[in-house]
A and B are shown apart, each in its own frame.
Chain A
Amino acid sequence: MVDRTHSLVADRTRCIGCVTCTKACPTRAIRVRDDVAAVNDELCIDCGTCMEVCPNDAVRPRTSSSADMKRFKYTVAVPSLTLYAQFGKEYPPGQVIHALRTIGFDEVYDISWMCEMVAGATDAHLSESRGPWPKISVTCPALVRLVQIRYPDLIPHLVPIETPRELAAKLRRRRLAGQLGLDPGDIGMFFITPCTAIIHSIVAPVGLEASHLDGAFSIAEMYGPLLKAMRDHPGSDAVDAVSVRGLKWAMAGGEIAGMRNANSMTVRGLHDVIYVFDRIESGTFRSVDFIEAYICPDGCVSGGLTIAGRYTAQRNLQEAYRTLGDQATVKEEKVRTLLREHFFDVESEIRARPIRPLASDLRHAIALKREKDALLEKLPRKDCAACGAPDCETLADDVVRGLARLSDCVFIRLAALDQRKPNRKEPIHG
């Protein structure tokens, strides 16, 4: 598809159709057809699991290029807090920010203080909201996509507050345009991202008409150049504005750590998200006020586009907290003023994108469901994925939807061959 918005690009020359990604995909969005993995864009949440498990490096993130930067008169790097966590104590945030400027950005805009602001705004929302409970954080864009697709009934639970990265970009662009006398469109804001889901959230935002960011570079691709810059051109920018409370957002649990409301939970990793969200949907957890949840197991530090492992990254962060000292950098009055201006509000409605039923007509859907159950009886239930679908049930589903054939199953084909052999009476010629 030409106008795909998704952040993961399959390299058809590298893909051998091995079904590793097909089986790993949490939304069962991938099928192998003609020995190449194909993604169903409707189901993809850009979590990056396929990229992580691919043994052939055939799935690549669609990041920005230096040519994209040249389109702008003034460029701003907006680093994910996870970037700081990549380097040990010899390279504190001030040096990382300095290095980003060394390698070509006109400016670096830190978002840690905005995280602290959003924590305050979330507290205010929780104290004013009348439910439904629990409220769910929108920080992880892969989680928001999962809710749209798999838990559409939970959309009213999502906190209607924009993410710190978008708010920071919005605020900075507005100020810079005034200060520099530039057209806002001449300013390029680039996020330095730990994951593919954020790239997708910039290209195809949810809850926003258009992203305030213009593109993204991955932490993984910036790591080498930054390390080199810090070695070759040592120096440090002032970090007065770096908020330790904000920095904590890089790790699961960091969001609620800075909040006043303590009736909250952190849900880590896709497996646990599905476990908990299934239960939220059936009405459990109503007594909880707030849930922060991440598709990645330890939050952003475990994103697929990082270099330091999540354990190293978390140790690095702990060190940074100690060095910088925990003090509130955000004045509550400032949060209240911005709340009154509706600065934090999401701009547009988050829409449900539920999985399509077997048919739009109930009787037809029931007929197909019966057909699917009958097919499933015939299938081996080995979930080998050799047919190109992740498991037997999905193949049966694809068959009744007209997207696959029962004979795609190798066991069915083998059985058909075995049946034919003994009946073969006529001699085989040539």
Chain B
Amino acid sequence: MTGPTPPLADGAAEEVLYSESFRIVGNDFEHGGEVAARVKAILKQLGFPGDAIRRVSIANFEAEMNVIMYAEEGTLDLAVVPGGVRVTVADRGQGIPDIDWAMQEGHSTATPEMRARGFGAGLGLPNIKRNSDEFAITSTVGTGTTLRYVVYAGLSAEN
């Protein structure tokens, strides 16, 4: 198998083999993690390797909890592409004023309540980046944040 072509590259028309969209509601801690769990179940059925599923799941969980903690609402779009799994998480919310700052480990704006629940260690965004092979973030203060990340997975569909 040759190396997969970067699925994020220049947004050129790329074959999406499977896609599904999930809604995430801000402050809905009760259902926190459910979207990540549903995506994990889908990827298992499609036969992705365990390591790829694990990395996508960790990133999805962090991204989902970020929407729940900081945004009004958002969507997680799953796209299975020939090179792997591409996820786009777009939210309508407060946005991130300083992305470089937020991308550093230990930097968090979590409230004491969030920290009490085990969040807010400042590992969310860095953790998503660490677990993905491609990562992009854009954010507008007062409007919202969009994350796009890709986890490469060599599958028989590429052959």
Residues of A in contact with B (beta carbons under 8 Å apart): 152-153, 278-279, 281-284, 352, 354-355, 357-363, 365-366, 369-370, 372
Among residues of B, the one whose C-beta sits closest to the C-beta of A152 is B50
Size of the chain B interface, CB-CB below 8 angstroms = 25
Q: How far is the CA of A368 from the CA of B127 in the complex (A)?
A: 33
Residues of A within 8 Å of B31, CB to CB, are none
Among residues of A, the one whose C-beta sits closest to the C-beta of B45 is A358
Could you tell me if A281 and B157 are in contact, using CB atoms closer than 8 angstroms?
no
Residues of A within 8 Å of B57, CB to CB, are 281-282
Binds A, one of B36-44, B69-77, B103-111: B36-44
Q: When the two chains form the complex, which single residue of A153, A352, A369 contacts B42, counting CB atoms closer than 8 Å? A: A369
> Which of A284, A357, A362, A365 is packed against the most chain B CB atoms within 10 Å?
A362
Could you tell me if A362 and B47 are in contact, using CB atoms closer than 8 angstroms?
yes
Among residues of B, the one whose C-beta sits closest to the C-beta of A154 is B54
Q: How far is the CA of A245 from the CA of B70 in the complex (A)?
A: 47
Q: When the two chains form the complex, which single residue of B40, B46, B62, B127 contacts A366, counting CB atoms closer than 8 Å? A: B46
Q: Provided the pairs A152-B50, A283-B127, A284-B118 are in contact, do residues A362 and B17 lie with their beta carbons within 8 angstroms?
A: yes
Could you tell me if A283 and B61 are in contact, using CB atoms closer than 8 angstroms?
yes
Closest 8 CB pairs of A and B: A357-B47, A362-B157, A282-B61, A362-B155, A365-B46, A283-B58, A366-B18, A361-B156
Residues of B in contact with A (beta carbons under 8 Å apart): 17-18, 33, 36-37, 40, 42, 44-47, 50-51, 53-54, 57-58, 61-62, 80, 118, 127, 155-157
B interface: dominant SS: helix
Q: When the two chains form the complex, which single residue of A352, A359, A372 contacts B47, counting CB atoms closer than 8 Å? A: A359
Residues of A within 8 Å of B155, CB to CB, are 362
Q: How far is the CA of A198 from the CA of B144 in the complex (A)?
A: 53
Q: How far is the CA of A352 from the CA of B49 in the complex (A)?
A: 12
Residues of B within 8 Å of A360, CB to CB, are 47, 156
Q: Provided the pairs A153-B50, A361-B156, A362-B157 are in contact, do residues A282 and B44 lie with their beta carbons within 8 angstroms?
A: no
Q: How far is the CA of A362 from the CA of B45 in the complex (A)?
A: 10
Q: How far is the CA of A143 from the CA of B47 in the complex (A)?
A: 23
Residues of A within 8 Å of B51, CB to CB, are 153
Q: How far is the CA of A13 from the CA of B23 in the complex (A)?
A: 50
Min C-beta distance of B80 to chain A, whole Å? 7
Residues of B within 8 Å of A284, CB to CB, are 61, 118
Among residues of A, the one whose C-beta sits closest to the C-beta of B60 is A282
Q: Provided the pairs A281-B57, A282-B57, A284-B118 are in contact, do residues A362 and B33 lie with their beta carbons within 8 angstroms?
A: no
Among residues of B, the one whose C-beta sits closest to the C-beta of A368 is B45
Among residues of B, the one whose C-beta sits closest to the C-beta of A393 is B41
